[in-house]
Amino acid sequence: MYKIGMFDSGVGGLTVLKEIQRIVPSSHIIYYGDNGNAPYGDKTEIEIRELCLNIGKFLYENEVDIIVIACNTATAASIKMMKNKFPIPVIGVIEPGIRAALKVTQNKNIGVILTPASAKMGAYKNVFDVIATKAHTLTEKGCKLICPMIENGWEEHYGNYLTDEIIKLYVEQISDEIDTLILGCTHYPIVENNIAKYFKKNIVNPANETAKELLKELSMIKPKNLTNTDPKVEFIVSGNSKNFTVFAEHFLGKKIDSIYELDLQVTGRKV
Ligand code: DGL
Protein backbone atom coordinates (compact mmCIF):
# COMPACT_ATOMS: atom_id res chain seq x y z
CA MET A 1 0.00 0.00 0.00
CA TYR A 2 1.25 3.49 -0.83
CA LYS A 3 2.01 5.91 1.97
CA ILE A 4 1.14 9.47 0.99
CA GLY A 5 2.43 12.47 2.89
CA MET A 6 0.48 15.66 2.45
CA PHE A 7 0.33 19.06 4.10
CA ASP A 8 -1.37 22.42 4.24
CA SER A 9 -1.38 25.41 6.58
CA GLY A 10 -4.50 23.95 8.22
CA VAL A 11 -7.86 22.57 7.12
CA GLY A 12 -7.62 23.65 3.45
CA GLY A 13 -5.75 20.52 2.37
CA LEU A 14 -8.79 18.48 3.45
CA THR A 15 -10.39 19.53 0.15
CA VAL A 16 -7.52 17.72 -1.59
CA LEU A 17 -7.60 14.82 0.87
CA LYS A 18 -11.27 14.21 0.07
CA GLU A 19 -10.49 13.84 -3.64
CA ILE A 20 -7.43 11.66 -2.93
CA GLN A 21 -9.55 9.32 -0.83
CA ARG A 22 -12.06 9.09 -3.67
CA ILE A 23 -9.49 8.50 -6.42
CA VAL A 24 -6.79 6.58 -4.50
CA PRO A 25 -8.91 4.88 -1.81
CA SER A 26 -6.41 2.22 -0.75
CA SER A 27 -3.68 4.41 0.66
CA HIS A 28 -2.17 5.28 4.00
CA ILE A 29 -2.11 9.05 4.40
CA ILE A 30 -0.15 11.24 6.80
CA TYR A 31 -1.75 14.70 6.79
CA TYR A 32 0.17 17.53 8.41
CA GLY A 33 -1.93 20.62 9.15
CA ASP A 34 0.34 23.50 10.13
CA ASN A 35 -2.47 25.42 11.82
CA GLY A 36 -0.10 26.73 14.50
CA ASN A 37 1.55 28.77 11.74
CA ALA A 38 -1.51 29.68 9.64
CA PRO A 39 -2.15 31.71 7.62
CA TYR A 40 0.77 31.12 5.25
CA GLY A 41 -0.78 33.79 3.03
CA ASP A 42 0.54 36.60 5.26
CA LYS A 43 4.10 35.24 5.43
CA THR A 44 7.17 35.90 3.29
CA GLU A 45 8.35 33.41 0.70
CA ILE A 46 11.42 32.59 2.82
CA GLU A 47 9.34 31.97 5.94
CA ILE A 48 6.98 29.68 4.03
CA ARG A 49 9.86 27.77 2.46
CA GLU A 50 11.40 27.17 5.87
CA LEU A 51 8.12 25.77 7.23
CA CYS A 52 7.72 23.53 4.16
CA LEU A 53 11.25 22.20 4.46
CA ASN A 54 10.67 21.06 8.05
CA ILE A 55 7.38 19.43 7.13
CA GLY A 56 8.99 17.75 4.11
CA LYS A 57 11.77 16.33 6.35
CA PHE A 58 9.19 15.05 8.79
CA LEU A 59 7.15 13.31 6.07
CA TYR A 60 10.24 11.89 4.41
CA GLU A 61 11.54 10.50 7.74
CA ASN A 62 8.16 8.84 8.14
CA GLU A 63 8.85 6.97 4.89
CA VAL A 64 6.14 8.34 2.67
CA ASP A 65 6.31 7.35 -1.00
CA ILE A 66 5.25 10.75 -2.28
CA ILE A 67 4.60 14.25 -0.95
CA VAL A 68 1.51 16.23 -1.98
CA ILE A 69 1.78 19.94 -1.21
CA ALA A 70 -1.95 20.50 -0.66
CA CYS A 71 -1.54 24.26 -0.38
CA ASN A 72 -1.12 26.73 -3.22
CA THR A 73 0.95 29.19 -1.19
CA ALA A 74 3.32 26.43 -0.08
CA THR A 75 3.47 25.04 -3.62
CA ALA A 76 4.44 28.44 -5.03
CA ALA A 77 7.12 29.04 -2.41
CA SER A 78 8.64 25.59 -2.16
CA ILE A 79 7.89 23.06 -4.90
CA LYS A 80 11.21 23.51 -6.71
CA MET A 81 13.17 23.26 -3.46
CA MET A 82 11.15 20.26 -2.25
CA LYS A 83 11.72 18.40 -5.52
CA ASN A 84 15.47 19.04 -5.19
CA LYS A 85 15.68 18.13 -1.51
CA PHE A 86 13.80 14.86 -1.39
CA PRO A 87 14.45 11.77 -3.53
CA ILE A 88 10.74 10.98 -3.85
CA PRO A 89 8.08 12.53 -6.10
CA VAL A 90 6.61 15.83 -4.92
CA ILE A 91 3.46 17.27 -6.47
CA GLY A 92 1.64 20.54 -5.87
CA VAL A 93 -1.78 21.95 -6.69
CA ILE A 94 -1.01 24.86 -9.02
CA GLU A 95 -0.19 23.09 -12.28
CA PRO A 96 -3.18 20.72 -11.93
CA GLY A 97 -5.40 23.76 -11.23
CA ILE A 98 -4.27 25.50 -14.39
CA ARG A 99 -4.65 22.35 -16.49
CA ALA A 100 -8.22 21.90 -15.21
CA ALA A 101 -9.07 25.53 -16.05
CA LEU A 102 -7.58 25.27 -19.55
CA LYS A 103 -9.91 22.32 -20.20
CA VAL A 104 -13.09 24.27 -19.39
CA THR A 105 -12.51 27.87 -20.46
CA GLN A 106 -14.26 28.83 -23.66
CA ASN A 107 -13.14 32.42 -24.10
CA LYS A 108 -9.58 31.74 -22.81
CA ASN A 109 -9.81 34.36 -20.02
CA ILE A 110 -9.08 32.75 -16.68
CA GLY A 111 -9.09 34.28 -13.21
CA VAL A 112 -7.68 32.93 -9.97
CA ILE A 113 -8.39 33.95 -6.40
CA LEU A 114 -5.53 33.19 -4.05
CA THR A 115 -3.74 34.31 -0.88
CA PRO A 116 -1.82 37.62 -0.74
CA ALA A 117 1.51 35.73 -0.55
CA SER A 118 0.60 33.64 -3.61
CA ALA A 119 -0.40 36.78 -5.52
CA LYS A 120 2.87 38.45 -4.55
CA MET A 121 4.86 35.45 -5.80
CA GLY A 122 2.88 35.37 -9.06
CA ALA A 123 2.10 31.79 -8.07
CA TYR A 124 -0.24 31.02 -10.96
CA LYS A 125 1.13 33.50 -13.49
CA ASN A 126 4.60 31.93 -13.45
CA VAL A 127 3.29 28.45 -14.28
CA PHE A 128 0.53 29.71 -16.58
CA ASP A 129 3.03 31.52 -18.80
CA VAL A 130 4.79 28.19 -19.36
CA ILE A 131 1.84 25.85 -19.98
CA ALA A 132 -0.91 28.04 -21.53
CA THR A 133 -0.92 29.43 -25.06
CA LYS A 134 -0.34 33.11 -25.85
CA ALA A 135 -4.07 33.45 -26.59
CA HIS A 136 -4.94 32.69 -22.95
CA THR A 137 -4.95 35.35 -20.24
CA LEU A 138 -4.74 34.94 -16.47
CA THR A 139 -5.69 37.48 -13.80
CA GLU A 140 -4.72 36.90 -10.16
CA LYS A 141 -6.74 38.37 -7.28
CA GLY A 142 -5.24 38.19 -3.78
CA CYS A 143 -7.82 37.74 -1.00
CA LYS A 144 -6.55 38.51 2.49
CA LEU A 145 -9.57 37.54 4.54
CA ILE A 146 -11.05 34.33 3.11
CA CYS A 147 -8.48 31.83 4.42
CA PRO A 148 -8.26 33.27 7.97
CA MET A 149 -12.07 33.38 8.07
CA ILE A 150 -12.26 29.65 7.35
CA GLU A 151 -9.27 28.67 9.49
CA ASN A 152 -10.80 30.45 12.49
CA GLY A 153 -14.24 29.00 11.86
CA TRP A 154 -15.86 32.43 11.49
CA GLU A 155 -18.32 31.17 8.94
CA GLU A 156 -19.60 28.73 11.57
CA HIS A 157 -19.99 31.44 14.21
CA TYR A 158 -21.48 34.22 12.14
CA GLY A 159 -23.33 32.16 9.57
CA ASN A 160 -23.47 32.86 5.90
CA TYR A 161 -23.99 36.60 6.12
CA LEU A 162 -20.40 37.52 6.97
CA THR A 163 -19.01 34.79 4.72
CA ASP A 164 -21.01 36.17 1.81
CA GLU A 165 -20.00 39.76 2.50
CA ILE A 166 -16.29 38.88 2.59
CA ILE A 167 -16.47 36.75 -0.54
CA LYS A 168 -18.53 39.32 -2.40
CA LEU A 169 -15.85 41.93 -1.64
CA TYR A 170 -13.32 40.00 -3.68
CA VAL A 171 -15.37 38.16 -6.29
CA GLU A 172 -17.19 41.30 -7.43
CA GLN A 173 -13.82 42.71 -8.47
CA ILE A 174 -13.33 39.88 -10.99
CA SER A 175 -13.75 41.18 -14.55
CA ASP A 176 -16.83 40.11 -16.54
CA GLU A 177 -14.51 38.95 -19.31
CA ILE A 178 -13.36 36.03 -17.17
CA ASP A 179 -15.33 32.84 -17.82
CA THR A 180 -13.37 30.51 -15.53
CA LEU A 181 -12.33 31.12 -11.92
CA ILE A 182 -9.75 28.90 -10.25
CA LEU A 183 -10.00 28.48 -6.48
CA GLY A 184 -6.29 29.08 -5.96
CA CYS A 185 -6.23 28.39 -2.24
CA THR A 186 -7.19 24.95 -0.98
CA HIS A 187 -9.36 26.54 1.71
CA TYR A 188 -11.68 28.14 -0.85
CA PRO A 189 -13.58 25.03 -2.05
CA ILE A 190 -14.96 24.88 1.52
CA VAL A 191 -16.96 28.02 0.69
CA GLU A 192 -17.48 27.20 -3.00
CA ASN A 193 -21.27 27.53 -2.69
CA ASN A 194 -20.87 31.07 -1.35
CA ILE A 195 -18.44 31.92 -4.16
CA ALA A 196 -20.89 30.53 -6.73
CA LYS A 197 -23.47 33.10 -5.61
CA TYR A 198 -21.24 35.88 -7.02
CA PHE A 199 -19.40 34.09 -9.83
CA LYS A 200 -21.92 32.40 -12.08
CA LYS A 201 -19.58 30.88 -14.68
CA ASN A 202 -17.02 28.01 -14.44
CA ILE A 203 -15.46 27.48 -11.02
CA VAL A 204 -12.42 25.18 -10.88
CA ASN A 205 -11.28 23.34 -7.78
CA PRO A 206 -7.75 21.99 -8.48
CA ALA A 207 -8.24 19.05 -6.08
CA ASN A 208 -9.63 16.60 -8.62
CA GLU A 209 -6.86 17.13 -11.16
CA THR A 210 -4.28 16.94 -8.34
CA ALA A 211 -5.63 13.57 -7.19
CA LYS A 212 -5.45 12.31 -10.79
CA GLU A 213 -1.85 13.47 -11.06
CA LEU A 214 -1.10 11.67 -7.80
CA LEU A 215 -2.56 8.46 -9.20
CA LYS A 216 -0.39 8.80 -12.30
CA GLU A 217 2.77 9.41 -10.22
CA LEU A 218 2.01 6.44 -8.00
CA SER A 219 1.61 4.17 -11.02
CA MET A 220 5.27 4.90 -11.84
CA ILE A 221 6.77 3.97 -8.45
CA LYS A 222 6.82 0.98 -6.11
CA PRO A 223 5.58 1.44 -2.54
CA LYS A 224 8.46 1.45 0.00
CA ASN A 225 6.36 -0.43 2.47
CA LEU A 226 4.71 -3.53 1.13
CA THR A 227 2.47 -4.34 4.11
CA ASN A 228 -1.22 -4.59 3.36
CA THR A 229 -2.86 -2.80 6.25
CA ASP A 230 -6.25 -1.09 6.15
CA PRO A 231 -6.28 2.33 4.52
CA LYS A 232 -6.02 5.02 7.18
CA VAL A 233 -5.30 8.70 7.70
CA GLU A 234 -3.10 9.97 10.49
CA PHE A 235 -3.52 13.67 11.21
CA ILE A 236 -0.82 15.75 12.82
CA VAL A 237 -1.35 19.43 13.56
CA SER A 238 1.02 22.06 14.89
CA GLY A 239 -1.72 24.00 16.70
CA ASN A 240 -5.10 23.24 18.22
CA SER A 241 -6.25 19.69 17.44
CA LYS A 242 -9.77 20.12 18.88
CA ASN A 243 -10.88 22.78 16.39
CA PHE A 244 -9.24 20.88 13.57
CA THR A 245 -11.01 17.64 14.55
CA VAL A 246 -14.44 19.28 14.78
CA PHE A 247 -14.04 20.83 11.35
CA ALA A 248 -12.47 17.77 9.69
CA GLU A 249 -15.14 15.38 10.99
CA HIS A 250 -17.85 17.71 9.74
CA PHE A 251 -16.21 18.25 6.35
CA LEU A 252 -15.18 14.63 5.71
CA GLY A 253 -18.36 13.24 7.23
CA LYS A 254 -16.51 10.65 9.30
CA LYS A 255 -14.80 10.24 12.65
CA ILE A 256 -11.10 10.93 12.98
CA ASP A 257 -9.37 8.16 14.94
CA SER A 258 -5.84 9.40 14.93
CA ILE A 259 -4.69 12.97 15.55
CA TYR A 260 -1.55 14.30 17.25
CA GLU A 261 -0.33 17.76 18.13
CA LEU A 262 3.26 18.24 17.04
CA ASP A 263 4.96 21.53 16.30
CA LEU A 264 7.83 20.62 14.00
CA GLN A 265 9.42 23.99 14.40
CA VAL A 266 10.04 23.10 18.07
CA THR A 267 10.55 19.36 18.35
CA GLY A 268 10.58 17.47 15.06
CA ARG A 269 10.19 13.89 16.21
CA LYS A 270 8.72 10.85 14.53
CA VAL A 271 5.16 9.73 15.27
N1 DGL B 1 -4.60 26.49 1.81
C2 DGL B 1 -3.57 27.48 1.59
C3 DGL B 1 -3.39 27.75 0.09
O4 DGL B 1 -3.82 26.93 -0.71
C5 DGL B 1 -3.89 28.67 2.43
C6 DGL B 1 -2.75 29.46 2.79
C7 DGL B 1 -2.86 30.25 4.07
O8 DGL B 1 -2.67 29.65 5.13
O9 DGL B 1 -3.00 31.47 3.96
O10 DGL B 1 -2.79 28.72 -0.33
Ligand 1 geometric centre to CA of 39 (Å):
6
For residue 238, the enclosing domain spans: 2-92+209-261
Q: Which amino acid belongs to residue 108?
A: K
Active site residue 71: yes
Residue 231, preceding bond cis, omega within 30 degrees?
no
Please determine, for residue 163, whether its predicted confidence score (pLDDT) is greater than 70.
yes
Question: 113 with 141: CB under 8 angstroms?
Answer: yes
Q: Kindly report the pTM of this predicted structure.
A: 0.95
Is 267 within the bounds of a domain? no
Convert the pLDDT of each residue in 232-241 to its tens digit. Answer: 999 999 999 9
> Which of 92, 48, 51 is CA-nearest to residue 70?
92
Convert the pLDDT of each residue in 112-157 to its tens digit. Answer: 999 999 999 999 999 999 999 999 999 999 999 999 888 887 656 5
Total domains in the chain come to 2
Question: 238 with 267: CB under 8 angstroms?
Answer: no
What is the average pLDDT across 210-225?
A: 95
Atom 8 of ligand 1: nearest residue by CA position: 39
- If asked whether residues 50 and 16 sit together in one domain, one would say yes
What pLDDT score was predicted for residue 156?
A: 60
Q: Where are the beta strands (DSSP E) in 115-250?
A: 137-142, 180-183, 202-204, 232-237
Please determine, for residue 85, whether its predicted confidence score (pLDDT) is greater than 90.
yes
Candidates 11, 68, 71, 192: which one to mutate for ligand 1, based on the most atoms within 8 Å of Cβ?
71
Residue of 52, 143, 147, 185 marked active site: 185
Is 257 within the bounds of a domain? yes
pLDDT band of residue 270 (cuts 50, 70, 90) is very low
The response to whether residue 39 sits with its C-beta less than 6 Å from ligand 1 reads yes
What is the tally of helices (H) and strands (E) in the chain?
Answer: 12, 10
pLDDT band of residue 224 (cuts 50, 70, 90) is confident
Residue of 52, 71, 143, 147 marked active site: 71
